[in-house]
A = this chain, B = another copy of it.
Amino acid sequence: MLNFDTDRFLRIQSGAIDLADGLRDAVARCLREGAQNLFFVGSGGAGILMLPAARLLQTRSTFPVHVEAPAELVAGGSVHLGPHSVVVIPSLSGTTAESVEALGYCKSRGATVITLTGHADTPLAEGADHSFVNFAEDDTSCESFYLQSLILALALMQERGEITDYDEVVADLKLLPKLLVDVKQGFEEQAERFAAQIQDEPYHIITGAGSTWAEAFYYGMCILEEMQWIRTRPVHAADFFHGTLELVEKDVSVITFKGEDDGRALVERVEAFAPRYTDKLSVFDTAAFELPGVGARTRSLISPVLLATAFERVSAHLEVKRDHPLTTRRYYKRVSY
C-alpha cells in the first residue's frame, strides 16, 4: 500500500482498544461518584469524531448527553454543566487552544474531565481528571477517536444496565486493527482509481446519515477542505433534499457514505436520486468490507471507522496525484488568529 506503515497502524488502533478497561473504570467511577450528565466538547474534527458515540447515547441511553463546541461552551455556558457533569474533551495534539480553555472552564464549574489525546505531556492530558493517551497522527486518529468514544459510550450504557453486550462488542473490536488493514488492502486499488477520478474535481457534495454523517462531515471539512483545499459541501442526507439537491447537475460530484445502521435508508434515497441528474455519483458502502468474526451488532456501530480507514487510502493517493501533501496548510498553526 502507498505510504502506509502496517505495524504503526496496528500499534495505534490496538492502542485505542487497549484503553477499554481504563475507560470503563473511569466511567464506572464517575457514575459511582454521582455523575448525572455527559458532555462531548471537541473542537473541529476531534469534536466531529465524537458524534457517533454522542448520537448513540442520545438515542439509546436515558443518560443526558450534550454536545458543545469548546469555544461556544466557554462563551455561553450551560445550565447543565456542574459538579455532576462528566466532560469528554478529545484533542489529538492535546494543545488545541479552545479545548484547553474549555478544560479550565469545565473544571472551574466542578465537572470531572476525561481527555482523549495523543500526547501525555500536554495541557489537556495533564489537566484532566482522567487522561487517556494514545499516540496517533492525522492518518490514524479517526479510527482511534471513533473507537475510544464508542467504547466510552458502550461502557456507560453497560454500567447503567442499558446494554448487556459490552464484552462481546469489545471482543469484536479487538479483532479490528488487523481487519482494518485488510479493509485498506482490499480497497487500495479502488482508492487509487477514485483519487485519480477526483483529482481535478473542484467541488464535492458529500453526504451520510446516522453514524456515517460524522465521517462525511469530517472527510469533507478536515481532509478535502483543510488538507487538499478542495471546495466541499458536507450535507446530512436528511437535509440534502431540502436545498442542496438543487445544485446537482450533470458534472457535479456527489459522494455518499453508506453504513450499516439506521441511517442507511436515508443515504440510499440520495443514491436513488443523484444518478438521474449527475454521472458523478460515488457510493461507498461499508457492507462491502468483509470482517470475518465480527458480528452484525458490532458492524452496526463501526461504519464510520470502516469509512475512515478506507478513505485514508484515498487521501494517500490524492496527495501524490495532486502533488499536494496532506500536511500543507495555508493558515492552520502557521499564522496566528
Contact = CB atoms under 8 A, between A and B. Distances in A.
Interface string A185-227: 0000000000000000001000001100000000001100111
A259 to B, nearest CB: 12
A225 B238 contact: no
Contacts of A248: 330-331
A264 B61 CA distance: 34
Contacts of A60: 79
Contacts of A269: 337
A61 B66 CA distance: 13
User: Most B CB atoms within 10 A — which of A60, A241, A263?
Assistant: A241
Contact of A262 (B61, B75, B222): B75
A221 B244 contact: yes
Interface string A44-58: 110000000000001
Interface string A237-254: 011011111111100000
Given A69-B239, A76-B261, A225-B244, 8 more contacts: A59-B76, A71-B238, A75-B262, A203-B231, A231-B247, A233-B233, A273-B331, A276-B335
Contacts of A122: none
Interface string A96-114: 0010000000000000000
A242 B222 contact: yes
User: Most B CB atoms within 10 A — which of A66, A246, A330?
Assistant: A246
A11 interface: no
Q: Copy number in this complex?
A: 2
A272 interface: yes
Contacts of A239: 44, 69, 221
A231 to B, nearest CB: 6
Interface in A248-299: 248-249, 261-263, 265-266, 269, 272-273, 276-277
B221 A242 contact: yes
A238 B76 contact: no
A277 B229 CA distance: 15
A249 B331 CA distance: 10
A337 B263 contact: no
Contacts of A75: 209-210, 262-263, 265-266
A210 to B, nearest CB: 7
7 contacts: A59-B77, A75-B262, A76-B261, A226-B244, A232-B233, A242-B332, A248-B331
A76 B211 CA distance: 11
Contact of A238 (B43, B61, B203, B227): B43
B236 A69 contact: yes
A164 interface: no
Contacts of A238: 43-44, 69-72, 98
